[in-house]
Amino acid sequence: MPALMLWFVVAALVTTLTAPVSVQQSVGKLRLELAVNKPVYVAGEPVEVRLTLRNGGESPLRVQFGSGQRFDVIVRRRGALVWRWSYDKAFVQVIQDVTLRPGETLSFGAAWGQVDLQGRRAEPGDYEIIGVFLGRVPDAPGTLETPPLPIRITP
């Protein structure tokens, strides 16, 4: 019996350390979700980030982008900027309209290689990731950001 209980504790711990983790922010019928594969990463292991925007309304929704950039991902530690997905990228300056049908989603992916903006390896510790959707939607104020999603890097 004790061996069985230990197995359940170990299985629960492994599941907790490897289960997908996400946060969301909603404005009206729009829901923005930021997700990573797990809450704890080994130093040097890429952190795969997925940002998904969903039209939860019953009518089509027009989204307008002011450039080719549609999203951004920000990594902070103790409130200080560590990495930004768009930092070393250039985007075409063109206005684009996209219509999201009811229930339709837009998804974006990025990978943080655990380096800072100067290319230095990130130290082990606690970090937070924020997803930013840069499309403009009628009746929605500015950009839409997720709450911070905590992750940990271990040695």
pLDDT at 8: 42
Give domain limits for the chain: 2-154
Do 30 and 138 contact (CB within 8 A), yes or no? no
Strands 125-133 and 149-154 turn out to be: antiparallel
pLDDT at 13: 45
pLDDT tens, the chain, 155 aa long: 555 444 444 444 444 455 669 999 988 888 999 999 999 999 999 999 999 999 999 999 898 888 888 899 999 999 999 999 998 888 888 888 889 999 999 999 999 999 999 999 999 999 999 999 988 887 666 778 999 999 999 99
- pTM for the complete prediction? 0.82
- Write the class of the CATH domain 2-154: mainly beta
**Going along the chain, which residue ranges are E strands?**
21-27, 30-36, 40-42, 47-55, 61-65, 71-77, 80-84, 96-100, 105-112, 125-133, 144-145, 149-154
